[in-house]
Amino acid sequence: MPSTPDASRTAQQVNDSDWMDHAIRAGLVAYGVVHLLLAWLAVQLAFGEKKESASNSGALHYLAEQPMGRVLVWLIAVGMLLLVVWMVLEVLFGQRHEEDTTKAWRKRATAAGKGVVYGVLGWSAVQTAIGQGSSKDGTDSTTAKLMDLPAGQVIVGLVGLGIVGTGGYLVYKGWSEKFTKELDVQGTTGKDGSAFVLFGKVGYIAKGVALAIVGGLFAYAAITHEPKKSGGLDQALQTVLEAPFGQVLLVAIAIGIAGFGLFCFARARHLSR
């Protein structure tokens, strides 16, 4: 068996390889497809034509019902697995040249969080592909289980605040255009670059707003001690729809989510890491 240094060196070589770049690009394309489907379901919700839950799982179920849909869902599952591998390598080796230790650990934590998101989406895709799972989020039952734990109400509240914080960071990242670091120079210059930056800007802001609403629902559930008041993305978008000018706001968020999907395609083409 190879020694630990040899194994570490091999993993670093994999992380730095052209093969890994191709794998990441495939995963980003899959992630973009999910967001475009999600945007379409949000538009359907806005105009009262809702068939599937406007959530990641709902988007996968919608895709599975299309011709060759299950094959495409399997491809998305593989794409998410590739992104998980990327995030694991980023946690282990991606920050080895970072001189600021605090910044390096913050980036590792961010990579770990993204890995969890990709992993959950990938598992949902596998369940959808094999005909299991549901297009419903089921967050109220999950919240109820958390509420039953010691200090469960506090835990749910902290989860809500964490989600709100994540949403706020995405809005900041979109507004400040910090996401441009994820594109190479060609991806941020010229007419195409301007379009890619616009996709990223509206995409990150829209995702951040949607997440902040999800977090707010969790926090409200914690305050009222009513698990059914919590909800995933589907319930968050429904909350937007019920607000004044909700239909317009929901369509705007849907456009933003679609923009994020297109930004994923742009990032796959102009990957910088």
Residues 237 and 108 in one domain: no
CA distance 82 to 19: 11
Q: Cα 206 to chain center, whole Å? A: 12
CA distance 79 to 152: 35
According to the 3-state scheme, what is the secondary structure of 227-241? Answer: HHHCCCHHHHHHHHH
Residues 165 and 188 in one domain: yes
Q: Which of 119, 136, 153 is the last residue of a domain?
A: 136
CA distance 166 to 172: 10
Q: What is the full per-residue pLDDT of the chain (273 aa) written as tens digits?
A: 444 666 567 667 767 778 888 999 999 999 999 999 999 999 998 888 766 677 788 888 889 888 888 999 999 999 999 999 999 988 887 766 666 778 888 888 889 999 999 998 999 999 998 887 665 545 656 677 777 777 778 888 888 899 999 999 999 999 999 999 999 888 888 888 999 999 999 999 999 999 999 888 888 888 887 777 667 788 888 888 888 888 999 999 999 999 999 999 999 999 887
Residues 58 and 147 in one domain: no
Which token pair is 130? 């094999």
Residues 129 and 142 in one domain: no
Residues 151 and 250 in one domain: yes
Q: Which of 86, 116, 136 is the last residue of a domain?
A: 136
Q: Which of 136, 171, 187 is the last residue of a domain?
A: 136
- Count of the separate structural domains present in the chain: 2
User: Which residue shows structure tokens 């456009």?
Assistant: 255
Task: Please give the residue range of the domain that contains residue 121.
Answer: 1-136
Residues 84 and 36 in one domain: yes
Cβ atoms of 272 and 181 closer than 8 Å = yes
Cβ atoms of 141 and 227 closer than 8 Å = yes
Residues 2 and 44 in one domain: yes
pLDDT at position 188 is 87
CA distance 159 to 143: 10
The crossing angle, in degrees rounded to 10, of helices 56-64 and 18-46 is: 90
Residues 159 and 36 in one domain: no
- Provide the 3-class DSSP secondary structure of residue 183: strand
Residues 11 and 114 in one domain: yes
Residues 3 and 77 in one domain: yes
Report the DSSP beta bridge partners of residue 271: 183
Residues 32 and 111 in one domain: yes
User: Which residue shows structure tokens 């997440």?
Assistant: 211
Residues 107 and 128 in one domain: yes
Dihedral sign of CA atoms 14, 16, 21, 22 in order? negative
